Amino acid sequence: MKDENVLKRLRIIEGHLKGIIRMVEEDTYCIDVIRQVQAVEAALNKVSAQILEGHLNSCVITAVQGEDPAERQRVLKEVLEVFETSTKV
């Protein structure tokens, strides 16, 4: 899966993360660092949602419409596991 929009967002996030590292190195006020970390987390969640949407619209649809019941179950189980993992903190 090569999605240029996802790659662009990840590169932007990478830049923000480097900024956070710099903030910590420079002993920036903790709350300011936390706010930047939260912004990166939100951006990563957006990227994750985009990737999941692409997966649902390609791999999952293909598996659900396919002839192999084991493959359908496997793909649906993967999606469920992703949701379960995302709700754990």
Spacing of C-alpha 33 from chain mean position: 21
Phi, psi of 27, rounded to the nearest 5 degrees: 60, 45
Residues 6+ apart with CB under 8 A from 74: 63
Q: What are the extents of the domains in the chain?
A: 4-87
- The CATH class for the domain spanning 4-87 reads mainly alpha
pTM: 0.82
Per-residue pLDDT of the chain (89 residues; tens, 9 = 90+): 678 999 999 999 999 999 999 999 999 999 999 999 999 999 999 999 999 999 999 988 888 898 998 988 999 899 889 888 887 75
